[in-house]
Structure 1
Amino acid sequence: MNQHLRQLIYSRFPIHRITLCLLRVSTTLTKSIKNSYDIGKFSYWFLTGWGLFWVLTWIILVSTSGQALSQTLPLFNQLTFDNLPSVSQSGSITIPPEVQGQVDYNLSRTWQKGQSIDSFLKLGDFQNSFQLQQLTLNEIEQTIGQSFANLTLSNFELLRQQTLENLLTIIPQLENKTLSQIPLIQDLLKAQGYQISSVLNQPLKKLTKQNPKLNQLSLNQLDLSQYPFDDLPGLTSVPLEKFTGWQNVSLASIPGLSFLPFANFPNPPQLSSGIVAKIDWVLSDVEQPATKTISGSDRLGYNVSCQQNCAHIELGDNPVVAGQQWVSGKYQSVEGGHGFLSGMFNGVEPTGRHPFGPGFKVVVWDIDEVTGTVSTAWFFRVCQKGLFNLGCSPYGIGPIPAFTYKENDWIFLGP
């Protein structure tokens, strides 16, 4: 068992504490019964042995489950949006006008089966979860170990949405550069018919102050494929959230972002503590009802019963959750979301759990009882918080294919 995994399991099930706790329980129970019923030595030792049996059971559980779980836990230092599977089914999001009017980017979208998820997931989708907008291109470049030197500014879609005023605001050092030092801005002015020969040595700050109309010139009027990143010094040090329109661009349009490991996100998925269990049974949707569930939503809790079409996995080998059921979100929907945005996706989301925090929801998806296999999927949500807190939508952006398990595999359930 590697050190990280041992810390993970022990943080939930520290052996020395469990041992001490169970010994105390066993001793207290034995003394209580002995005092109340004047039991003999045989019963005393029987009960003591019973307590020790459970101590050993817990120790074996922690050891064996940790070893098996190391093969199924996501390695967030290697997992990226690029290496997640493509979407397994087509889908779309249609937002009511009254909701869309309250949000600062376009939530509606459509995707096709086989499409890469980074092509339709937007930066704004993660502003309150992974907080990807806090990243700079420099940080992305250094983390993934790939240079952007051979890229042109056309590879950075956000730049096309900036005006000259935006550019000088988010990259303050440009204000003191002369026009002659920034060929891109020279070409921008020329493209609009300005004669620049007499002002080449003027700082941009002075130039735009003398002629305020220049501030409204947009970089989308240029062919940005002609300019390398170095033509705008300081660009790669600007947090993405400083650019106008950052919420509405896809992850794939940000250079290198799709290759950034989840562990390097500003607010990465949580992997600190939780429960593990073995998948005892994989049961199809003919099973009903399912009343001993550990699935649901952060709105209703995680023991939402299912009355019909209750495909699920049944858990074992851990006394804490033995016999409990994780119902497939492909068959059961539950209420989700909070605040104004809870009305999105008709107010419901697939039933599931949050083993790795609120950034995404893990959902048991396809169930194959014949082969004893079960696939899982991830679902994302949209939150709008800030000056006006509109809450969060249900987890309705998905399914994003994740991991597949078989009967007798271990699975991480989270807190």
Structure 2
Amino acid sequence: MLLPAGTLLFSFGLRTPSTASSVSAVNLETLRWADLPPIPQGDSDLVDTGLSQQAGYSLDKQIQAGDRLTDIFTLGDMAETGIADLSLIQIETLAQLNLQDIALSAITHFTKQSLGSLVEALPALKTLPLGEISPLADLVKSHVTEGIQDLLSQNIGALVGNSAIAQLPLSQIPNLQTFSVADIPTLAETPLKEFAGWQEIRLKDIPGLDQIPLADLGMLSPSAIATLDIVWGAAESQATFQPISGSTKVGFQYPCQQER
């Protein structure tokens, strides 16, 4: 389900009868993805929406006990929130991280690219000689042996005209974990949605995202959040403590008179 921008509804205690006797106070100014509870124990579910073809990426979810929302949701699911418009350097600022400490191997939207698709996402690379960008030079050298010196002096834009070179997967860069985001020009400044396949990147695979207060991402408004208790059957037939009922005029413990 895609939620309207600025509105987010969290449901706690899914799958289990409500045992809460009070509602904990939630500080909406500091609430982060990392603060939200994992899925309770229970059987795993395969959620098949049937809408993947229409959306252009897989909307199907394999949900297991212990999963957090960041394990389940992808950037595509959160498209209306604007998260995909962020760049790594913006996330670094909001999460108070240092990009120099983050290895390229931890940047999923980078490792899922080919050399060709990376150049499409980062067009500034086209005019740079391959030899100036060590991770990419190492990738090409690990697959090409003849004429490598000539290749290193060529601009990357010309090199990706060769389909075999363009299709080289970045995940095969030797010693990828030894390089940082700063080793790829403009990678840190480019919005996540510019990369091929961005819709399928899980939120957990974006370093630091789960540490940013949701309010800073524009996802929470104090007037648009509530705790919802779902009625699953007879075991839930009794009134919930402090249900969502009433209004600002009559108060929020106003009784519902209709039959259950």
Pick the aligned partner of 1:116 from 62, 65, 68. 68
Output the CA distance in 2 between the equivalents of 1:246 and 1:273: 28
Query: How big is the shift at 1:217?
Result: 1.9
Higher strand share: 1
Question: Is the Cα contact below 8 Å between 1:118 and 1:251 reproduced in 2?
Answer: yes
Opposite residue 237 of structure 2, the aligned amino acid is: N
2:237 match: 309
2:168 match: 217
Opposite residue 115 of structure 2, the aligned amino acid is: L
Question: Is the Cα contact below 8 Å between 2:99 and 2:182 reproduced in 1?
Answer: no
1:319 match: 250
1:164 match: 115
Q: Relative to structure 1, is the Cα distance of residues 103 and 286 closer, same or farther in structure 2, using a 3 angstrom cutoff?
A: closer
Counterpart mapping for 1:245-324 below 5 A: 245-265=197-217, 267-272=218-223, 309=237, 311-313=239-241, 319=250, 323-324=254-255
TM-score by length of 2: 0.74
1:131 match: 82
Opposite residue 203 of structure 2, the aligned amino acid is: L
1:208 match: 160
Q: Relative to structure 1, is the Cα distance of residues 115 and 177 closer, same or farther in structure 2, using a 3 angstrom cutoff?
A: same
Runs of 5+ in structure 2 lacking a partner? 1-23, 227-232
Pick the aligned partner of 1:150 from 82, 101, 104. 101
Opposite residue 190 of structure 2, the aligned amino acid is: V
Q: Relative to structure 1, is the Cα distance of residues 144 and 176 closer, same or farther in structure 2, using a 3 angstrom cutoff?
A: same
Output the CA distance in 2 between the equivalents of 1:185 and 1:202: 12
* 1:306-356 Cα shifts (integer Å, max 9, x gaps): xx93644455895255523499xxxx9xxxxxxxxxxxxxxxxxxxxxxxx
Pick the aligned partner of 1:107 from 29, 47, 59. 59
- Identity level (%): 25
Q: Relative to structure 1, is the Cα distance of residues 198 and 326 closer, same or farther in structure 2, using a 3 angstrom cutoff?
A: farther
Question: Is the Cα contact below 8 Å between 1:312 and 1:326 reproduced in 2?
Answer: no
Output the CA distance in 2 between the equivalents of 1:251 and 1:259: 11
Question: Is the Cα contact below 8 Å between 1:149 and 1:229 reproduced in 2?
Answer: yes
2:14 match: none
- Structure index of larger Rg: 1
Task: Indicate the structure whose relative CO is greater, using CA pairs within 8 Å and at least 6 residues apart.
Answer: 2
Output the CA distance in 1 between the equivalents of 2:202 and 2:59: 12
Output the CA distance in 2 between the equivalents of 1:153 and 1:264: 25
TM-score by length of 1: 0.48
Opposite residue 97 of structure 2, the aligned amino acid is: Q
2:47 match: 94
Output the CA distance in 1 between the equivalents of 2:144 and 2:249: 74
Secondary structure, counterpart of 2:55 in structure 1? coil
Output the CA distance in 2 between the equivalents of 1:325 and 1:256: 43
RMSD of aligned residue pairs (Cα, Å): 3.3
Question: Is the Cα contact below 8 Å between 2:89 and 2:99 reproduced in 1?
Answer: no
Output the CA distance in 2 between the equivalents of 1:87 and 1:120: 10
Q: Relative to structure 1, is the Cα distance of residues 273 and 145 closer, same or farther in structure 2, using a 3 angstrom cutoff?
A: closer
Q: Relative to structure 1, is the Cα distance of residues 269 and 163 closer, same or farther in structure 2, using a 3 angstrom cutoff?
A: same
Question: Is the Cα contact below 8 Å between 1:137 and 1:238 reproduced in 2?
Answer: yes
Alignment length (residue pairs) = 226
Q: Relative to structure 1, is the Cα distance of residues 101 and 270 closer, same or farther in structure 2, using a 3 angstrom cutoff?
A: same
Q: Which range moves more in the overlay, 102-111 or 172-181?
A: 102-111
Q: Relative to structure 1, is the Cα distance of residues 145 and 321 closer, same or farther in structure 2, using a 3 angstrom cutoff?
A: closer
* 1:116-148 Cα shifts (integer Å, max 9, x gaps): 3322222221112x2211111100101111112
Q: Relative to structure 1, is the Cα distance of residues 87 and 94 closer, same or farther in structure 2, using a 3 angstrom cutoff?
A: closer
Output the CA distance in 2 between the equivalents of 1:84 and 1:167: 33
Question: Is the Cα contact below 8 Å between 2:131 and 2:153 reproduced in 1?
Answer: yes
Output the CA distance in 2 between the equivalents of 1:174 and 1:321: 58
